[in-house]
Every structure is written in structure tokens, then in C-alpha cells.
Chain A
Amino acid sequence: MIKRVFEIYNYREMIAELVRRDLRGRYKGAVLGFLWTFINPLMQLAVYTVVFSLFMRSNIQQYYIFLFVALVPWIFFSSSLTGGSTVILGQANMVNKIYFPREVLPITFVTSCFVNMLLTFVVVFGVLIISGYGLRPKPLLFLPLVMLLEFVLALGMTLLFSAVDVYFRDMSHILGIVCMAWQFLTPIMYPSSLVPQKYQAIWNLNPMKAIIETYRDILYYQQVPDLSGLIPAFVMAIFFLILGEMVFMKLEKGFATEL
């Protein structure tokens, strides 16, 4: 596996070029072009804010910030998972004609989504500053750490499901439904306090719960997060990364036959 990691490292320029191509091509031909990177999350935010502030009357202060700082990292994670699961199938021609470590494809996809998230965070910071909420430097120090952790988790799961999807094409559809349910099981639109105490222990097994709460601690509560709460998420991220790569290496041998 170590050799494989170095092999992938040798293809870093290919990864960078594919990421650039993906980002350029995302909204090519669209009138608003790259602005859709920002418009998409802003529109989702507007809809959720209207529903939960005006219709369902959440009593959370500045709900749009409460939601936004959680929604952006969630969009990165769920789009990595759902979109990344079909990336091998989607690039069947490339896989069949050129030799390269096949992991390059899911890595490229997740990295592209990650860069998208970073650009959206520019909007997040803008919203925080314009609304008067502001930013505190000490909690912000932890932002790269939680972003890295989320990236590792997303990459591990994408490696796993992208390999499985080649053999079991229903996987991408199942993941779509799972991600939809997972979104509601993660404290994105509501605070953790709504979950009854008796379910907290099981609920805490959701790695995205701790990650989203950390983003919220840093940006909404503006306090230094409790890193001990991230330990289960860290363990799961490493577990999925190793498992994802092992499964990928095993299943990769049959890609050419299946595609």
C-alpha cells in the first residue's frame, strides 16, 4: 500500500490538471458560469432559512448563520460521496485506454469538491463579517484541522464506494438515499439539544455529527472546539481511508472487465 501511495504521488500533476479541468468545466456554457459555485449554497440557505425561520419558527438566533456554517461542509461531503461513487464508471474510456493509478479519479473528484468548498467558505466569511458576527482568530486556527479530517473521511468513503459501484451499479442510487437520510440525522438544520438524551450515545457514532458541530463551534459559537469529541470521527476517517484503499486495490483488477 505504501508503494501505491508513492505511485499516486507521482501522478500528482495529473490530479492537479484533472481538478483544474473539472473546476473549469463545471459550469462551462452556463451564463453565470463559476458564480453557480456560490449561488447554489446561497439558494439552499435561503430556502432552509425561510422554512425554519418563518414557517416552522425556529427560535435559534441568526438561524441563517447557524445553518450556513453547517450546510457548506455537508454539501462537500455528500456531493463527494454521491458524485464520487460513479467516477470510475463515468471515466470508463480513460480507465480502459490509459494506465494510471485508478485512485486518481476519486481523489480528483473529492479534491475538486474540496476546492469548491474552500471557495464557498469565502462567501461564509463574507456573510459572517457583513452580518456583524465577525470572526475570532483563535477558533479559526482549528478550521484547517477539521477540514482535513472531513477530507480524509470523504476520500476514504469515496474510494470504497467508487470501487464497489463498478460491480454493483445500484450503489450510487443507494448512496443518494443514504445521504438524504444522513443529512437529517446530522445536526445541520437543528441543534443537538433536540435529540433526546437517551439516543445521544448512538447518535454520537455519526462521524459527521462531531465534524459539523466543530465547524459550528468555530464559526457560529466562535469558541475553541473540544477536540476530544472528534476522536471517534478521526478513528472512522482513518478506518475508512485504509478500508477504502484496500477494497479499491482488490476490486481494481476487474475494472477493465466490468467497464
Chain B
Amino acid sequence: MIRNLPRKKLAILCVCVVLFVVYVLTCILISAKQDPYKVTLEALSPEGVSLAEGAVLEASDLENVQEEENTYLLLPVRIINDSNRMISSQNDYRIFLTCTVYAQSGEDTGISQELTEIEKRVGSGKTGTAQVRVRGLSAGDYRIVLDLQRSEPAFSYSSAESFTADEVLLHVD
């Protein structure tokens, strides 16, 4: 039946099909070649300044909140988004901030949290803040590793992506 079409209509049909295929392939290529997340995570001092390498935070200087029977220390964190997409863990299960607490000996204390508490969307080229809540630290020295991660939805064939982590040395009296 296609062969019975007049030449002009056949030519138009071919052009339309080719244009459609080119459009779909373009979309697939753009989607596949997206820039990896270029995000920097920085732990901050209570005054909101980036911490120097090796600097130790005092737990007594940090804000804390009481919820039910637990006391949480609040670690301020800055997120600098240099990627071409928005970071938002509040509305997007694919992005989340993790916090792992290690004792001075290097042993994982088991106080690890998966957080989704990035306060606001951090747009492309913008800087945002988050507050990491750490619970149940007894007296001692700790190394806290903060990591921004992106999980993959089921059935997605994209490779997993991870972000730059940052570390905080914390002293608890």
C-alpha cells in the first residue's frame, strides 16, 4: 500500500519518518550523555564557614535538638551544585545525604543515617545548605563521613553515580 502512494506523498512520509527517528535518537543521546553530577559537599563550622582540613569541631559548639527521648547534634553542610541539574532530596528519592560515624579507632559505630534533609532545592549553578542530624554520641573523638548519593530507580539501566564526600572530626565531651 505504501508503494501505491504518489511520489510526493511518499517523499513527505519518508521525510517525516526520518525526522522522527532523528528526534528520538537525539533525545536518547542527550539523556545518555548528561553531565555527571558535579557537586561539592562541605561541612561547615557553627558560624557557617568551611572547615579547614584537620579542624576539629566541638560538639558543645553545635546546635542540638531534642526529639522524643533522643538528642540530635546538628552539623551544618553546604552543597555547591555545579552540575546541569537540580539537586533536591526532599522531593526526589534518588538523591540523599548519608552520614556515617566512625570512632577514633576507625570502627564504624553503627550510627549511620540516611537523610533526605536538604532544605531547599539546589538549582544548577547554585549553593544550598543542609543540616545533618547525628544522634547518640557518647564522649570521645569521632570521624563523621558525609556522602551525597544517588540511588537508581528499579529497571533503570543507567550506571550508579556517587558524589564527593566530606569528613568532619568531632570531639564530644
Which residues of A approach B to under 8 Å, CB–CB?
A: 2-3, 6, 59-61, 66, 138, 141-142, 144-145, 191-193, 195, 200-201, 204, 221-229, 231-232
With A192-B93, A193-B91, A221-B86 known as contacts, the answer to whether A226 contacts B158 (CB < 8 A) is: yes
What is the minimal beta-carbon distance from B46 to any residue of chain A, in angstroms?
Answer: 25
- A6: chain B residues at CB < 8 Å are 1
Most buried by A among B27, B91, B124, B156: B91
B153 touching A61 by the CB < 8 A rule? no
Given A224-B30, A227-B27, A231-B155; 13 other pairs, CB 8 A cutoff? A60-B90, A191-B90, A191-B91, A195-B93, A204-B155, A223-B85, A226-B156, A227-B28, A227-B32, A228-B157, A229-B156, A231-B157, A232-B155
- B84: chain A residues at CB < 8 Å are 223-224
CA of A195 to CA of B154 in the docked complex: distance in angstroms? Answer: 13
Q: How many residues of B contact A (CB 8 A)?
A: 29
Which residues of B approach A to under 8 Å, CB–CB?
A: 1, 23-24, 26-28, 30-32, 34, 84-86, 88-93, 116, 120-121, 124, 153-158
Most buried by B among A2, A59, A145, A231: A145
Which of B1, B31, B91 is A225 in contact with, Cβ under 8 Å?
A: B31
Chain B residue with minimal CB distance to A222? B86
- A193: chain B residues at CB < 8 Å are 89-93, 116
A192 touching B154 by the CB < 8 A rule? no
Which of B85, B91, B120, B154 is A224 in contact with, Cβ under 8 Å?
A: B85
Which of B24, B89, B153 is A145 in contact with, Cβ under 8 Å?
A: B24
CA of A17 to CA of B121 in the docked complex: distance in angstroms? Answer: 46
Which of A145, A192, A222 is B27 in contact with, Cβ under 8 Å?
A: A145
CA of A224 to CA of B86 in the docked complex: distance in angstroms? Answer: 10
A224 touching B34 by the CB < 8 A rule? yes
With A142-B31, A191-B91 known as contacts, the answer to whether A223 contacts B120 (CB < 8 A) is: no
- A3: chain B residues at CB < 8 Å are 1
Chain B residue with minimal CB distance to A231? B155
24 contacts between A and B (CB under 8 A): A59-B90, A60-B91, A61-B121, A142-B31, A144-B23, A145-B27, A191-B90, A191-B91, A191-B92, A192-B92, A193-B92, A200-B153, A204-B153, A204-B154, A221-B91, A221-B92, A223-B84, A223-B86, A224-B34, A224-B85, A226-B156, A228-B156, A228-B157, A228-B158
CA of A192 to CA of B157 in the docked complex: distance in angstroms? Answer: 19
- B153: chain A residues at CB < 8 Å are 192, 200, 204, 226, 229
CA of A60 to CA of B116 in the docked complex: distance in angstroms? Answer: 12
- A142: chain B residues at CB < 8 Å are 27, 31
CA of A141 to CA of B28 in the docked complex: distance in angstroms? Answer: 11
What is the minimal beta-carbon distance from A230 to any residue of chain B, in angstroms?
Answer: 9
- B86: chain A residues at CB < 8 Å are 221-223
- A227: chain B residues at CB < 8 Å are 27-28, 31-32
With A61-B121, A191-B91, A193-B92 known as contacts, the answer to whether A141 contacts B154 (CB < 8 A) is: no
CA of A240 to CA of B62 in the docked complex: distance in angstroms? Answer: 57
- B90: chain A residues at CB < 8 Å are 59-61, 191, 193
- A224: chain B residues at CB < 8 Å are 30-31, 34, 84-85
